[in-house]
Chains A and B, each alone.
Chain A
Amino acid sequence: MSHTAKPVFSCTDVHVWIAEKEVVKGVDLAVSAGEIHAIMGPNGSGKSTLANALMGHPAYTLEGAVALAGEDVTLLSPDEKARKGMFLAFQYPVAVPGVTVASFLRAAVSAVRGTEVPVREFRKELLGRMEELEMDPAFAGRYLNDGFSGGEKKRLEILQLLMLKPRFALLDETDSGLDIDALKVVSAGINAAASQEVGMVLVTHYQRLLNYVRPHVVHVFMNGRIVRTGGPDLALELEERGYDWLEPAAAAGGV
């Protein structure tokens, strides 16, 4: 991995407010194509807020600069960002009753690729990807996230990641609520995306996902800031020691 390569995603001095409250207090990130970053931190540290705000959630106010492949996308709407190759795998994917997975995905794929994908071609691609993720073909006919189990929802997020082929993906707690088999399948999907040069940021509370997906860079996120950045070993250290030992760094406002 060349760290001199132009980043596929970067953000500079990002602050995020929910109403009057500052939740993210200055974050810088630069992710290259095919590179996997992990953002790890305790619950309530603001890492999900960061992920949602970067994608453009209307409930959050974001300050700072966000760029995709060198292009400033800070002020773009979520759909414009998506069409420029940005993706967010949701921690809690929302149900849309009455809309099938297949029709939703076809609309999304067509929107992102900027061209209507023929039904037959789309179907073949979809069923192929579903097979990779060990999903029953009948899944395509179910209503979007409607009555899905936690594991089904997460698989669907990864299915979307593989179908939409973004340049850059944020994965918010994609490992939570998965049993070990589902975790392996989801991890394989993430690795497949990385091998297709998708730059990724995994937001996670636990390091168990990292047993299957090896990150290039690990960031520790506490109290709205990145307080430490290191290699894969940092994740293991966190597993062993928890987050408490980093409290002084967090209080001091980062490394």
Chain B
Amino acid sequence: MASTPKVADIGTDYGQRYGFHDPEEYFMRTPKGLSHEVVEAISRLKKEPEWMREFRHKALDVFLAKPMPTWGDTAMLSEINFDDITYYVRATEKQETSWEDVPENVKRTFDRLGIPEAERKFLAGVSAQYESEVVYHSVKEELTKQGVIFLDMDSGLREHEDLVRKHFATVIPAADNKFSALNSAVWSGGSFIYVPKNTEVAIPLQAYFRINAERMGQFERTLIIADEGAKVHYIEGCTAPVYSTNSLHSAVVELIAMKGARIRYTTIQNWSNNIYNLVTKRAVAWEDAVVEWVDGNIGSKLTMKYPAVILRGERAHGEVLSIAFAGPGQHQDAGAKMTHLAPNTTSKITSKSISKGTGRASYRGLVKVRKGAHGCKTSVQCDALLIGDAARTDTYPTMEIAEDQVRIEHEARVSKIGDEQLFYLRSRGLKDDQARLMIVNGFIEPFVKELPMEYAVELNRLIELEMEGSVG
């Protein structure tokens, strides 16, 4: 073999690749650690209504009372030191309305992330979250004309309090799990979207997220409501710079698809490999509604994420299409949850994972069919690709079926990059690493082809970086 195996080195130069960061200049930050004082400070600074302030304090009590999960990667989870995290940091004093007004250092960060100004042409509205606040936010006139609301969550609460109050935490209550409770107590930023009845948002709505302060958690909160017959595609993409200590990202994303509505939520996350990414994502789909989660997880130290769809109305359809890339030392514990509450609802889960070096990818899924939800169909497909002898994959599929008249398909496959495939590609002049990359890119193609062009390019570039030096 021409190249020397360097599996152990992967990720050590992550700093050079992604780890650019600006000196921290902050308008306001809370002291490290979590307390009712911190929660109070956040709520006051945001000038929130009383009900939200109370919601936060109650959530904190729930968080403090709840034990850590006893499943998943409990060893890694136990390493999180909640007292060593800053729960709120505000990057700039006010919201920016145009690109030109965005501070230079923030702009530089976006440039390095490959979010050039040219990209605005693609975007209907950009809501780029830098630290815990949204600094750049522009919504095209057309959206406004259509009556579409696309704001950061804080502005959403200020400007559309009734709408927020009606739906906030209805899909994911604070007490759902320890990390949703944490998010509920200290949330900041995220997106708030409302699409009126029978309105179709033609261009994907996008937001960029970024963590840029050491030991700082990011707790964004997103709520998307598609009213009856509405249609919207939201895209979330993340890249984080490198720091020596662990950071926590714990988001809550709630989707509500009313009768006949359609929501697609696309994520590409590329956290640096010191980040705990513990996210709760759940949707409710009413009659004839369709919800699709397209979820790509690269990087992070530990990801625990199981996008869910609660199929509440008849003929609703839920779909999760995900890929996870677990590099050395990383654990991607990802999956999906489908809850069939109404008859003739359908769901589809397609999970693809790649484990490299000592990386570990787990699929954890739950499909539930309630008694009386007859005529449901569900299919689950898990494909795992292992690179190297130390790579690991596990599958934890759970099915709770309380109804007889249902159709269930489950398929799981584990594969390695085949010697015959490699020989074939190499006999055509492709170097070993090039051939491996081609096979891996082929493996994730069913996912990539669902992405808008610029994201597909970005994802392929990330996979290429992750695959570098993976010979052997």
Contacts and interface: CB of A to CB of B under 8 A. Distances in A.
A82 B423 CA distance: 11
Interface of B: 2, 418-421, 423-432, 434-435, 438-439, 441-446
6 contacts: A77-B2, A79-B428, A79-B430, A96-B424, A98-B444, A143-B442
Given A79-B429, A82-B428, A111 B442 contact: no
A50 to B, nearest CB: 15
A83 interface: yes
Contact of B426 (A78, A87, A97, A99): A78
Given A77-B2, A79-B432, A104-B438, A94 B421 contact: yes
A193 to B, nearest CB: 16
Nearest to B447: A98
A164 B427 contact: no
A81, A96, A164: residue with the most chain B Cβ atoms closer than 10 Å: A96
Given A98-B445, A107-B438, A111-B434, A88 B427 contact: yes
Contacts of A111: 428-431, 434
Contacts of B438: 96, 99, 104, 107
A10 interface: no
A119 B425 CA distance: 20
Nearest to B431: A79
A168 to B, nearest CB: 13
A14 to B, nearest CB: 18
A82 B426 contact: yes
Nearest to B421: A94
B421 A96 contact: yes
Contacts of A96: 421, 424-425, 438-439, 442
B371 to A, nearest CB: 39
A79 B424 contact: no
A97, A98, A108: residue with the most chain B Cβ atoms closer than 10 Å: A98
A88 B428 CA distance: 8
Contacts, number: 83
A158 to B, nearest CB: 14
A227 B69 CA distance: 72
B429 A58 contact: no
A147 to B, nearest CB: 14
Interface residues of A, number: 29
Contact of A160 (B428, B441, B443, B444): B428
The 6 closest A-B pairs by CB, nearest first: A98-B442, A98-B445, A111-B429, A82-B429, A108-B428, A99-B442
Contacts of B432: 77, 79
Contacts of B425: 96, 104, 108
Contacts of B441: 98-99
A82 B434 contact: no
A55 interface: yes
Given A77-B2, A98-B443, A59 B426 contact: no
Interface in A123-170: 143-144, 160, 164
Nearest to B438: A99
A58 B438 CA distance: 19
Nearest to A57: B423
A79 B428 CA distance: 6
A112 interface: yes
A57 to B, nearest CB: 6
Contacts of B439: 96, 99
B418 A94 contact: yes
Contact of B423 (A78, A98, A107, A144): A78
B427 A78 contact: yes
Contacts of A83: 429
B270 to A, nearest CB: 21
Nearest to B418: A94
B423 A58 contact: yes
B424 A93 contact: yes
B427 A99 contact: no
Contacts of B427: 55-56, 78-79, 81-82, 87-88, 90
Given A59-B419, A94-B420, A111-B434, A164 B428 contact: yes
A111 B433 CA distance: 13
Interface string A43-81: 000000000000111110000000000000000011101
B208 to A, nearest CB: 28
B426 A77 contact: yes
Given A94-B424, A96-B438, A98-B445, A112 B419 contact: no
A112 B425 CA distance: 12
A90 B424 contact: yes
B104 to A, nearest CB: 35
Contacts of A59: 419
A160 B432 CA distance: 19
A107 B153 CA distance: 45
Contacts of A81: 427
Nearest to B422: A58
A55 B423 CA distance: 9
A144 B439 CA distance: 11
Contacts of B443: 97-98
Contacts of A98: 441-446
Contacts of A104: 425, 428, 438
A112 B429 CA distance: 5
Given A57-B423, A58-B419, A87-B427, 11 more contacts: A56-B423, A56-B426, A77-B432, A79-B430, A96-B425, A97-B443, A99-B442, A108-B428, A111-B430, A143-B442, A160-B428
A164 B442 contact: no
Contacts of B430: 79, 107-108, 111
Nearest to A84: B429
A39 B444 CA distance: 41
A64 B269 CA distance: 52
A78 B445 CA distance: 26
A115 B443 CA distance: 26
Nearest to A89: B427
Contacts of B429: 79, 82-83, 108, 111-112, 164
